[in-house]
Amino acid sequence: MTSVVIVGGGPAGLSCALALQSALKHYPLQSLALTVIDAGRSDLLQAELWNAPEISLGTKGSEIIDTLYHQLTSSQIKIVHDRVAKLDFIGEASFRLVCESGAEFFADYVVLAMGYKEFKLESTPALAMRNHPNTAKPRPCLALDDSQRVAPHLYAAGLIAGTHSMFASVCGSGTEAACYLLSDLLGSPTHVHDVPHQRSE
């Protein structure tokens, strides 16, 4: 069983989860287990959207979060409401995540998708950080390669990956992280297009 843990249940993390859920219908990934760990502190919960494609003007961010969660229908996706406090590298590409509640999760792949305001993650070894390039105030973000990788099997999405703090930007970053992770997992450049009549049921 290959396990993927997404840390963060905002637009980046949930967009990543949706793309991976879609991939479950396209690729032989029956042995993929996906967990989203959400502390419930996304900035989107305080937002009202007037500039996002296909979103009705003035939609509350909390409504969008609810809709995104409603779209996660796969039985292979587990939702955990907790905050990840610690990330340990326990092998070349293997991780242990410890939550504030004391719950532990083990993963083959991890996507860090919490915003920079909520990035209070203890890590062993420490993760490389840099100055956020797309915010007016000084903010931290993770140092990444061109595939949104922090380290082997460890990806970042959204604000902590250095994107602009716009809903469409962070959603796109989450989807990109999912595509890079899938490419790594399947061994070749991979993306997911939902096309009528081409999904395996």
Judged on CB neighbours under 10 Å (0-12, 13-18, 19+), 123 is middle
Residue 69: how many CB atoms within 10 A of its CB?
A: 15
State the total domains in the chain: 1
* Residue 104 is assigned to a structural domain of this protein: yes
Q: Taking 60 as the threshold, does the pLDDT of residue 1 lie above it?
A: yes
Amino acid found at 52: A
pLDDT, tens digit, 9 for 90 and up, residues 93-145: 799 999 999 999 999 999 999 988 778 889 999 999 999 988 888 888 999 99
Answer yes or no: is pLDDT of 200 > 70. Answer: no
Inside any domain, residue 59 = yes
pLDDT tens by residue, 26-61: 776 778 889 999 999 888 888 888 888 888 999 998
35's tokens: 């967990």
Q: Is residue 70 one of the residues assigned to a domain? A: yes
Greater confidence, 54 or 15? 15
Long-range residue pairs from 75-80, CB within 8 A, at least 24 positions apart, any chain: 76/21, 76/24, 76/32, 76/33, 76/34, 77/17, 77/21, 77/34, 77/35, 77/36, 78/33, 78/34, 78/35, 78/36, 79/9, 79/35, 79/36, 79/38, 80/35, 80/36, 80/37, 80/38, 80/105
Q: Which of 166, 191, 171 shows the shortest CA–CA distance to 180?
A: 191
Give residue for tokens 């991979």.
190
> Quick one: pLDDT at residue 54?
85
Q: What is the dihedral of CA 141, 142, 144, 147, to 10 degrees?
A: -80
- Output the average pLDDT for the chain: 90
Place of tokens 């406090």: 85
Q: Is residue 98 part of a domain?
A: yes
Residue 135 falls inside a structural domain: yes
In-domain check, residue 199: no
The answer as to whether 197 is a domain residue is no
What whole-number percentage of the chain has pLDDT above 90? 65
pTM over 0.95: no
For 9-23, what is the mean pLDDT? 93
DSSP state of 106: E
Q: Which domain holds residue 22?
A: 2-186
* CATH code of the domain in which 182 resides: 3.50.50.60
Residue 199: band (very low, low, confident or very high) from pLDDT cuts 50, 70, 90: low
**Has residue 142 been placed in a domain?**
yes
